[in-house]
Structures are given as C-alpha cells and as structure tokens.
Chain A
Amino acid sequence: MSQRTATEAGLGPAAADDSAAAGPLRAHRRRSPKLIKRTELTILLAPGLILFVGFVFVPIIIAAYYSFFSWGGYGPLGPSVGFKNYSFAFHDLYFIHAIEHTLILTVLSVVIQGPLSIAIALLLNRKFFGRTFLRMVIFAPYVLPPAVTGIMWNLMLQPNGFVDQVMKSLGLGGLVQEWLANASLTLWVNFVVLTWQYIGFGIVLLLAGLQGVPRELKEAASIDGAGPWEVTRRITLPLLAPTIRIWGFITVIGSLQIFDIVWILTGGGPGESSETIAVYLYTKGVQATDYGYASAIAVVLFAFCFVFALLYQRFALRRDMQGALTREVG
C-alpha cells in the first residue's frame, strides 16, 4: 500500500509537468486516464487518511501494545508484564466502582434525558412566540467549554452558594445538602450538571428530526379519528425513531468517556464516589506516571465503546434501514 502510494506520488508531479508541457490537458488524459485518476485520488485522499489513521487508529494499537508493559513514560519501554495490568485493574475495587459509576451515568443519561428530550421536543415542535430564540438558548450550553461548565456549577453548588440560597428562598431550605461533599449524592449532582450541558443538543436534534415527519400524515390520522396522543404514539414517535436511535448512540458513546465536568466539579470524589473510567485513567495512570497501566485502562474504555457500538449496530441501527424504506414509501 505504502509502496504503491510512493510510486504514484512520485509519478504525480512528473505527469503534471508533462501535461503542462504538452499543452491541453485532455490530450494527456487520453494517453493514460487511469494513471491520472489514481494520482489525483492519491493526492486528495492520502493526507487526510494518513492523519486520520495515524492519530485515531494507530494510538489504540500502540495502547494495546504498551498495556503489556510496566512503564513510566520515559526512556526505553519497561519490563513486559503480560496481562498483569489488566488483571490488576479488574481486581482493583476502585476500577470496578469507576466502571459502575460510568455505567450508571450512561444509563441515567439514556433513561432520563431521553424521554425528557423527546417530551420537550414534542411540546416545542409547534409555532409559538419566541420559538427560534428559545431553541437557540436551549442549545447554548452545549457549545460551552465543559471545563467552564464544571467551574461554574462548582461555584454555584458550594455550601451556602447560589443553589442553596435559591432553595432557601423558595422554602426548600430543609432539602439543602452538601452537594459536592456528600458521597451518596455526587454522582447525581454530576448527572444533573451533565444534563444541563447536553440536553439541549438532544432537544435540537429531535426537533430537527420532527421536521422530517410529514404533517399530512398526522393530519390524515386525526381526520381518521385519532386523538393527539394516538397521533404522537402511532405516527410521530415511530417516524422519529431513527433520530432517537442516533441520539442514543451519540449519548452512550459520549457518556462512557465523561471526564471534564466530573473532574472539575467533584474531582471524582469525595473519596472515589464519582470517579468515572476516564477519571480513573487520569489519576491512576497518567498522574501516577504508570503509562502501561494507563494504556490498559484506555484499551478497556475503548473496548466498552466498541462492544456497545457493535451491539447497537446489530440490534438497533439496523432497523433504520427499514425505517428509511417505510419513509420513502410513505
């Protein structure tokens, strides 16, 4: 592959010079159209492909290799330790907890943000005063740097901070908690802040999907005697399903690798009560300068995403083909 690329790249400039000298391009093209096409393709495709493969695929392969070593990150690769990094990880209660926390956040995101976004999108999917403005505002948190979102909520959730004051003035003072210091709450607090940042994306995505549901279908159904609830359940939601499934995919892959907000809001604490896989990777791998171990954790994180993607592709996204067909027919 690389050899062929080199030859073609070598031929590329020469061929171009040739054509410039020969005058009209077309004469040259008639001479060797295949070669020209290949050269053009290589020039167009190779740089992007090299960048992409080099920094997206190769790192995971490197990680898989390094995960079998004990290595501090500098100097020659440390002693090979076989599967010890993996077996250590899966015997480390902290790591097991980090996996649990990550999965809890992922499930919460799907189970709570999902229906909530769908309900809000359905309600907002009609003409009303200020709709464009509202859509923009709801989406806005999504474009904030998650690090800044973490800082801002960290300040608001301090004892006697903004959230506590508002609750007290609403007569809910009895419910005030140590939001960031209560180990049984921190995962939920993180989830609420994550929802604040990301739910707008889901809502806007679903609103865009709702634009694709033909109004004639809904009108036809209601003329045939279907009530609004029935129209929603039997017409709108099934046609929205492809969008919902894609939303689910993006949400799960995103939730599995949560780092920024958790790291800044609670630092994974108190104790390790809100540590996610990515936070664990950073504290136990990177900060501990154990890059062999960090690589093993990275491979596990990748495996989670990969297995989920395969299963999702197999069981959920495949149906979108049928959905697309139905939509075309309908």
Chain B
Amino acid sequence: MAAIAQTETAGPRGQSTRRRSTSRWTIMPATYLVAIVALGLTIVPLLLVVVNGFRTNADINGNAAGLPNPWVLGNYTAILKSAAFWQLIGNSALVSVVATALVLVLGTMAALALSQYEFKGREFFYNVFVAGLLFPITAAAVPVYLELQRLGLLDNQFGVAIPEAAFGLPLTMIILRPFLRAIPGELREAALVDGASRFRFFVQILLPLAKPALVTVGLLAFVTTWNQYFLPLLVLQTQSHYTLPLGTYMFQTTYSQNVAGIFAYSAMAMLPALGAFVFAERYIVAGAAGAVKG
C-alpha cells in the first residue's frame, strides 16, 4: 500500500521506470530486513547447539546465552570415542541405505513400467501409488508393527527399512514417472530399431538421462529414513539396534543433567543430515519443488 502511495507522488519520469525505482526503494529494505530476521531465527538456534557443546555444564547453568568460557572439547571427544554413538550411526546408515536402495531399485522399475509401456490399467496403478501419500506412516505404524511381528522382523533394522521404503514409493513415483515420460519416445524407437533390447535401452540410455531425478529420489528417501523416529521407536527394542534420533533422545533422558553433553550429542546428530543437505541442496530442493509440479 505504501508503495502505491509513493508511486503516485513520485517525480515526473516515464511511468514504468518510475514504478520500478520506487518499488526498489520501498521493497528492497523490507526484503533485506526479512532476510536478516529469517536468517537469524534459523541460524542462531543451530549455532547455539553447536557452541553450547563446547561449554561446561557449570558454564551453561550460570549463563544459558553466553559464549563458552572456557572452551572445552571434552563433550565432543567423549561422543566421538563412545562405541554407542558409532553404533547408532551404523544402524542409521544401514536402515537408510537399505531403504534408499529398495526405493531406488523397485521405484525405478515400477516407474519404467508405468512410463515406458502402454497397457490397460496403467493410470490405475499409478494412482494406487499416488494414493499412498494419504496413508500417514504414523497411522500405519501400529499395524506395521503387528505385521512385522508376524514376519519375525521386530527389533530388526530391516523391519524399519522395508516399511520406510514402501512409504517412500509414492513420492518416488510422483517425481520419476513424469521425468521418464518427458524423455521423447523417438529415442526408444531409435534404440530399438538399432537392435538394442528394451532392457539395454533402459540401462544404457534412459537411466543415465534420468540421473538428476534418481539422485533427488534417493536423497529424499535417505534423509526421510535417517530422520524417522516413530517407526524405529515402535519396532526397535534393543538399545544396540537403535537409530540415531532414537539414541539421541535416549541420551537426553538418561543423562538429563549433562546439558552440555546433550547439546554436543544433538549437534553430532544434526551433522549427517545437514552435511548431506549442504552438499546436495540443489537436488533436495528440486525434489521438494518437483513433488509439486508432478
């Protein structure tokens, strides 16, 4: 509103230039203000967790909002030296890698079937996968638990990875199928005429072309599984089978007085997800945006 009012009273110049310049003068400061506030609100808590990991408990209890005095490495080195922490990382990695592999292999196969073949019921099958978005894993967790019990997969990392993969398939199909369909059919015709089998065409031509989408799908599956809390909470009972989020919460409840230690543990627990994100931000954000367009 303020922008409009100013436009009316702005000096006698060409209309469009006038608008553009006034909007620049009113909107740009607002943009920077919002940018700085958003940056601060996001980054300060993250930094706080990391920095507090370098403090002593007495220091934090004395002043919760100060800088470390003295700086200590002990909290972090204790975690890095603890076998329990590495076991959590290993378990999370196992669960996430298995789930990601399943999503990539089975999701790609199904997406190929639903994009490269003409057959009756193709749209039906696609819609079945898409409908999966409505099935919240939280609601399904209890029956999944009972199903895993029957299959003998309780308290087993695969018992987490397999359902996670199943719940990752809808998003995979939503991202992959449009991508594969957008690859021109002439390419396939040409390859088949040249004597390549359909399988060779898929593996040697189609999938390399679909690499960006595959990377996105894989990263989304990996991060989602890595972060999952509810399903592991139900399925995993032995502490040595816990995943990282579960173990971090366990650490917090067990050593609730060791505030600095919990900060350090949280920082270490954030690191893998944040690290993956920093290196692959483009693909993850593309996935989030791609989910909308598909």
> Interface residues, chain A, CB within 8 Å of chain B?
25-26, 37, 40-41, 43-45, 47-49, 51-60, 62-63, 66, 73, 120, 123-124, 126, 128, 130, 134-141, 143-148, 150-156, 158, 160-162, 164-166, 169, 196, 200-201, 204-205, 208-209, 219, 222-223, 225, 227-230, 242-243, 246-247, 253, 256-257, 259-260, 264, 278, 281-282, 285-286, 291, 294-295, 298-299, 301-302, 305-306, 309
Contact = CB atoms under 8 A, between A and B. Distances in A.
Given A44-B109, A134-B35, A166-B65, 6 more contacts: A40-B113, A52-B128, A145-B269, A148-B270, A162-B64, A286-B145
A17 to B, nearest CB: 15
B64 A160 contact: yes
B281 A145 contact: no
Given A60-B143, A143-B223, A156-B45, A25 B110 contact: no
Given A137-B39, A161-B64, A151 B112 contact: no
A135 B109 CA distance: 34
Q: Is the interface of A mostly helix, strand, loop or mixed?
A: helix
Interface in B137-176: 137-147, 149, 162-163, 165-167, 169-170
Of the listed residues A126, A169, A242, A285, the one surrounded by the most CB atoms of chain B closer than 10 A to its CB is: A126
A162 B65 contact: yes
9 contacts: A44-B110, A54-B147, A62-B143, A63-B143, A139-B285, A143-B276, A147-B227, A158-B64, A305-B139
Nearest to B107: A48
Q: Is the interface of B mostly helix, strand, loop or mixed?
A: helix
Contacts, number: 286
Given A256-B136, A281-B142, A301-B139, A144 B15 contact: no
Contacts of A299: 139
B134 A305 contact: yes
Contact of A147 (B16, B110, B136, B245): B245
B43 interface: yes
Interface in B36-61: 38-39, 41-43, 45-46, 48-49, 52
B39 A134 contact: yes
A154 B44 CA distance: 15
Nearest to B109: A44
Interface stretch (B79-87, B181-189, B203-211, B258-266): B258-266
A45 B113 contact: yes
